[in-house]
Chains A and B, each alone.
Chain A
């Protein structure tokens, strides 16, 4: 038997217009945490999807426990004790956690020996034991849609463990989590490794790899660049290999040059559907040339502030003024025309129409104007020309250029498309919510550069981010939100990361 539990030899996979994996050979040892690092669209997810039986390689072979296997469905992968947690969870929202976990392999008992029924009680017991053994706290009776993403992810992990998976694949597991939740997840992964599981981690976050991975394979544009022992390398080296050039971690920031006040938010209160005030009497203003960042733990009302300013939800009370004009009751379109860009948090639900082509999505805020249409008639060449310009300038990668269906693009490239569209509106006020979430380091660098450039052009930027590092490195002014209230508004240079963290947790006030 070979030293590898999983071996992939000379794997090549093509999709229309793109070679996703080009002659990749890799071996993964039992009981290690093996990371795949690469930019968005580098081919990490494709490679692992083949191990999980979702695609079959065009060329090459896969060996599991030394034996050659042909995986043509995820069932076959499951039979080999391979499990995967996808980037977008695959759960039935209105089922309980236990029901989701046993779905497909329900334990059947028989009443009186012949009437079959699903043994939910037994399953719940087993799930409780599993969750205790691995420290994955869940309540098996809860309905999935009522729990947060972090718990949903635990459910996905439990699903694999329940199926007795030995090889666990995690596809960008931390992209949707807050910093605390990430800590927790990384601990869980180490725990799993200590119990003898083999873990494959797909990510583009260097710190995570540095913290828990044993070895790391770096992919770039479908090719395997190098396999590194993580403790013999540095994050800088990994970053450079991944992007293929020298990477700058800290953005260079020119001194601020504030102009007149552009956005004023007065006494803003937002009530959610459950009649609960999620934003309470918030006051702040943003000047031209200023990046105003709202820092806070997810779910403290920062998204609602952005939605209210953009007009997606009606505030309970308060006023929003743009360039001195009260826009509280204006339509969304009117606000866009007054000079407002908005990059929303939920990119697939709000930011794009997945079944539209890339060019349609890039024009979705301006299709009714020249050069996209004239007198109500669309001008297709205008769409295409504009799209090609943005694709080029923002390095949006897609299989078939402007005509690609957005659904078929990778999440990171969808995000780049949204950012490109919103910046190209050249609005005076730009609202960025989690602009770099789920992006690789090269793309993050690029987008942060754009944000700074817009600021230097005299735009007002409202940045809402869960990444404290991002807030600290970009913001001119920081407002810390906790429980719907702005705890502290202060120039960025007067706050340390630790202080911001304390305000975020509501410890200090």
Chain B
């Protein structure tokens, strides 16, 4: 597949950002390849109601 990009003039004023998090990027420039992944696990069983015991100690 052939893909042509024409980059004309880019002039940006002010950028206000609160946060860039969890494998995100904020880029001013050119790039060839980006690979970003983020796994977030909060299943129902992540809410444990019961005795306050240690979680996943060694060997478990």
A and B together in one complex: no
Binding site for A on B (CB under 8 A): none
Binding site for B on A (CB under 8 A): none
